[in-house]
Amino acid sequence: MTGDAVAELIAVSKLYPGGVAALQEVDLRIEPGELLAIVGPSGSGKSTLLNLLGTLDQPTSGEVRIAGHPVAGLSDRHLSALRADHVGFVFQQFHLAPATTALDNVADGLLYCGVGQAQRRERAARALQRVGLGHRMRHRPHELSGGEKQRVAIARAVVGEPDLLLADEPTGNLDTATGGAIVALLRELNSSGTTVVVITHDREIAEGLPRTVALRDGRVR
């Protein structure tokens, strides 16, 4: 790898049992500070690509590098440390603990970073303020709207100040207006220095971002 890409895939393929090719010879380089969409229909390989970028899975062939670190051969412990230091995740389903306040849902994003409880909560409060939810810290998920839940999830993803934020269909459970507000928030986070990758099937969202990577049948088009 040349330079200091946040993430890079080099000739990456992923095969599943039965010879199903989820990805085929994919090359992708993500530079620091980029805001891009990975777009494609169901079955195009988006989820597989997300899992590889997030070090949640390994390729069948090719090379994945995150923040300059080759992923191949790393132990589970080292992969977990790499994710904790460099990657944040936002999912369509929010994945918030239902009985836990917004503050502690976000603070839990630092559980594996060796940070004490008081500091976790202090950083979580700053992250919630950053996404416009400073006034909802003590509320539990059932007391929040869908858009607010997604903002909590985004705060949890960025509380550790990752290099790379992976947003998987972040507007999929939201109405159009709320979804637009979430995309605007992702733009704000990007403008403050976070590299953001939005995985989506929505071409309108993708075309509104500075860079689009189109996937079809496991290949970049």
What is the distance between the alpha carbons of residues 86 and 88, in angstroms, rounded to a whole number?
A: 7
Residue keyed to tokens 């976000």: 106
Supply the range of the domain harboring residue 198: 34-57+74-220
* Residue 29 maps to a domain: no
pLDDT in tens, 157-190: 999 999 999 999 999 989 999 999 999 999 999 9
In this prediction, residues 132-156 reach a mean pLDDT of 96
* Residue 186 maps to a domain: yes
* Residue 18 maps to a domain: no
* Residue 125 maps to a domain: yes
* Residue 8 maps to a domain: no
Residue 18 tokens, joined: 């039965």
* pTM exceeding 0.95: no
Higher pLDDT, 100 or 2: 100
Domain CATH for 97: 3.40.50.300
pLDDT in tens, 50-94: 999 999 999 999 999 999 999 998 999 899 888 888 999 998 889
- Is residue 130 within 8 A of residue 155, CB to CB? The reply is yes
- Is residue 131 within 8 A of residue 124, CB to CB? The reply is no
- Is residue 155 within 8 A of residue 124, CB to CB? The reply is yes
| Number of separate domains in the chain | 1
* Residue 64 maps to a domain: no
φ, ψ for residue 189, nearest 5 deg: -60, -40
Q: What share of the chain is helix, strand, coil (3-state, %, to 5)?
A: 35, 25, 35
